[in-house]
Structure 1
Amino acid sequence: MGNQVSKPQPGTQFRVIGAGLSRTGTASFSEALRILLNGPVYHGGTQITQGSEAEILSWMKLLSNFPAKSTEDKALTHDILRTRLKGYAAVTDAPGSGLVPELLETFPDALVICTVRDPEAWVKSLSAVATLTSRAILRVVLFPLSPMRYFVDYLHELARQWTYLYGEGDPVSLQTYNRHIEWLKETVPEDKLMFFDVRDGWEPLCDRLGLPIPDVPFPRINDGEAIDKLAKEIIIKGLTRWAMIFGTVIAGYVAWRIGK
């Protein structure tokens, strides 16, 4: 998260599958790709939490059929990927980072780039997100908000995907991070896979994509700060909406009593 919601641009060629786990610099990476590829980038966290209900519901439908067990499941997966990513130059963040084989089947010419960071710092960062609030409370707080009323169920489906891929879904440990790297090396042809640390800036990324280095600083978006800020804003918005609902109910009751 950290970016604004992106809108598809008709005719845009899909070129990059961002395979980095959440909180590995995916927001900075997304903005860098937007500049380099001159097209919109689908950052999963941003689109799912700030986009329309169709975004989160379609990903939940895909994840509920993950892994695909039949020809029909596979067709559904490919159809959702094509629909959601049509008009985008790249996809980053979850749940796409756990759908690399499916994305490669859908977009065989795409390059897979995995953002990386210090594994122990990554675990600490993910743990901070998990302690923001309990999911039971979150479900109630977010219920008046669209599309966030579905967020807890989305997290459940995402945890199920991670458990299948890495052996654990929530909470995570170094096992998840290390297994993700191993899984990509096992899954993606070596000539189509790149590991990239956003601290290295433009040069390695531009070199791999065969593009000139832009005459602008490399984007520096703090994923952690952006997620924490958005989470607090959404929780406050949910509580405010509940206050308005209760206020309306109480006002209606008082008016009814007066009118009796």
Structure 2
Amino acid sequence: MGQEASKPRPGTELRVIGAGLPRTGTASFSEALAILLDGPVYHGGTQIFNREPAHIKAWISCWEKTPIRNSKDHDHIMKNVEEIFDGYAATTDTPGAQFVPELLEKFPDAKVICTVRDPEAWVKSMDATANKSLLWFLWIILLPLPTVRHFPKYVDVLQRGRWSELYMPSGDPSTHSTAVYDRHIAWLKKVVPEDQLVFFDVRDGWGPLCQALNVKVPDVPFPRINDAKAMDEFANKQMMDGLKAWAKILGVATALGGVFYVSMSRLTA
């Protein structure tokens, strides 16, 4: 999250489905895929919050259709999947990682690559993210911002939708735990053909990834992007932008109030 959103290239078809959970090196993985595939990569966190409001609303509508209850829900999701990923060579991070079956239905020949890390370290990283993204006053601060104002609702429907469906069985209130991590891995092994599924640790660099994609190792260093730092910088910027927007709104409101008060005083004088 925090980088510039890549733009789709007409005629490009999805070749890699990045099925790793957030905070598993997905930003570095995205940059690596862009180099190897020579095409735009849809990194969920970056795209969701750096695009027009209609984009995040489309994903909200998809989460709201999960768990899928009928053919209309399925068709709605498939329509959005087709439109959103048209022109991209790969996708990484949430929300694509939770819509692997739908992506495989649309792109049956795509390789599914799940980025992995130590489950305990993943939980700690997710804890840090949750502590910031679920602040009760966040929705108020973000309200003046066209796209990120929808972030609190996005998180809410994500958790109540497929995230809960896949990772939070009845009675388990945890949205991120080692059990959640393990359930994601088990789910992928269930829904993805064995010969299409690859698990990849970004710390291993080019070798395993190039082997999985059957491409040559490029003559450039493997990308190393600090996901946590990038997200913190992005979150802080959005908070500041929200506060600045509120300052302007309140400033205008105060000025208008002053004009109204002076006008009324003259009328009643």
State the match for 1:6 in structure 2.
6
Structure 2 distance, partners of 1:39, 1:170, is 37
What's the % identity of the aligned pairs? 52
**Counterpart residue type for residue 137 of structure 1:** F
SS at match of 1:42: strand
Query: In structure 2, how many angstroms separate the alpha carbons of the residues matched to 1:27 and 1:178?
Result: 21
In 2: Cα distance, 1:45 partner to 1:247 partner:
33
Structure 1 position 237, deviation (Å): 0.7
Alpha-carbon offset, residue 2 of structure 1: 4.0
Deviation at 1:185, TM superposition (A): 0.8
Counterpart-to-counterpart distance in 2, 1:189 and 1:55: 30
Tell me which of 243, 247, 252 is aligned to 2:251.
Answer: 247
Shift of 1:132: 1.8
**How far off its partner does 1:256 sit?**
2.4
Letter of the 2:235 counterpart: A
Tell me the CA shift for residue 171 of structure 1.
3.9
Query: Could you list the per-position Cα deviations for residues 228-254 of structure 1 after superposition, in whole angstroms to 9, with x for gaps in the alignment?
Result: 111111011101100110001001111
2:242 to 230, 238, 254: 238
Question: Shift of residue 68 of structure 1?
Answer: 1.9
Q: Stretches of 4+ moved more than 2 A in 1?
A: 133-136, 168-171, 255-260
Alignment partners' CA distance in 2, 1:142 and 1:133: 11
Looking at structure 2, the residues matched to 88 and 170 of structure 1 have their Cα atoms a distance apart, in angstroms, of 33
Partner of 2:125: 125
Is the 1:81–1:103 Cα contact (8 Å) retained in structure 2? yes
Q: Tell me the equivalent position of 1:225.
A: 229
1:217 partner SS:
coil
Partner of 2:220: 216
Q: Which has the larger radius of gyration?
A: 2
* 1:166-185 alignment runs, 5 A limit: 166-167=167-168, 171-185=175-189
Cα deviation 1:149-198 (Å, max 9, x = unaligned):
11100001111221110115754211111111111111111100000000
Aligned to 2:42, the other structure's residue is in SS state strand
Number of aligned residue pairs: 260
**What TM-score, normalized to structure 2?**
0.93
Which of 187, 191, 196 aligns to 1:192? It is: 196
Partner of 2:78: 78
SS in structure 2 of the partner of residue 131 of structure 1: helix
Correspondence list, 1:14-93, <5 A: 14-93=14-93
Q: Which amino acid aligns with 1:151?
A: F
Separation in 2 of the partners of 1:111 and 1:234? 34
Letter aligned with residue 224 of structure 2: R
- Equivalent residue of 2:136, what SS? helix
TM-fit CA distance, 1:258: 2.8
Change beyond 3 A, Cα 1:185–1:66: same
TM-score by length of 1: 0.97
* Counterpart Cα distance in 1 of 2:9 and 2:133: 36
Q: RMSD in angstroms over aligned alpha carbons?
A: 1.3
- Higher mean C-alpha deviation, range 162-171 or range 185-194: 162-171
Q: Mind listing any 5+ residue stretches in structure 2 that lack a counterpart?
A: none
